Amino acid sequence: MSESLPPEPPPFAPFERLRSEQIYHSRWCGLRRDIVRLPSGSEQEYHVFEITDAVVVLPVLADGRVAMVGQYRYPHGKTHWELPAGRMNPGETPREAAARELLEETGLRAGKLSALPGFYPTNGISAHFAHAFLAEDCAVVAEPAPEDSEQLFRRFFTRAEIAALFDAGRLADAFAALPVAYWLRRSGP
């Protein structure tokens, strides 16, 4: 269907950065306030949240089941189903980070790791990018070994269960829902 693939939109001229103030910086994240010149000629402040890029992995076992983790998230206080995911460590490639997060959070190792479309979760405020992977032929090689700040509960789901969770709007974490959506499209009706 490549004949129906529309072109990219006409690119706009970038805003000119006139000044930049680093409001905060730490090993976890940073916050920057830039003063930019808009196409109208006026100046405006623009906040940019800085955070290292992330990876997310959709793990499929040899029997076709998918591993997800019930995970507690401090910012909103809820526990819900997610895919293994995390930020890349310094020096890591996205693929290395994906294999590490998969092992840490689920105890799985993939027979085959291939790219799914990545995404900008919040590109109005951050250049933060998520590299997504499909991990196939996964096998349990260890118990999950999450970091001290992570609370995880591993569970295996059939494709029908994953589709039911998605269709019911129960995958409220975008890092989980979007790779699941790509996988559902690619793995049949």
According to CB under 8 A, which residues from 17 to 76 bind a second copy? 23-24, 26, 28-29, 31, 34, 36, 38-40, 42, 44-49, 51, 69-76
**Part in contact with a second copy (CB under 8 A); list of ranges 90-98, 106-114, 136-144, 149-157:** 149-157
CA pair distance 118, 108, nearest whole angstrom: 22
Consecutive H or E run containing 95: helix 94-106
| Max CA separation in the chain (angstroms) | 59
Contact 187, 159 (CB under 8 A): yes
Sole residue written with tokens 């730490």: 26
Three-state DSSP state, 39 = coil
At its nearest, how many Å lie between a second copy and the CB of residue 140? 19
Asked if 189 interacts with a second copy (CB under 8 A), we say: yes
Asked if 188 interacts with a second copy (CB under 8 A), we say: no
Number of chain residues interacting with a second copy (CB under 8 A): 90
Binding mask 75-104 for a second copy (x = CB under 8 A): xxxxxxx---x-------------------
Nearer to a second copy, 85 or 102 (CB): 85
**Binding residue for a second copy (CB under 8 A) from 53, 100, 109, 184?**
184
At its nearest, how many Å lie between a second copy and the CB of residue 108? 17
Backbone angles phi, psi at 44, to 5 degrees: -150, 150
**Which of 64, 69, 33 has its CA nearest to residue 154?**
69
What's the start-to-end Cα distance of the chain, in Å? 17
Asked if 146 interacts with a second copy (CB under 8 A), we say: no
**Binding residue for a second copy (CB under 8 A) from 35, 95, 121, 136?**
121
Contacts of 167 (CB under 8 A, 6+ apart): none
What are residue 67's DSSP bridge partners? 156
**Part in contact with a second copy (CB under 8 A); list of ranges 59-67, 89-97, 101-109, 170-178:** 170-178
Asked if 173 interacts with a second copy (CB under 8 A), we say: yes
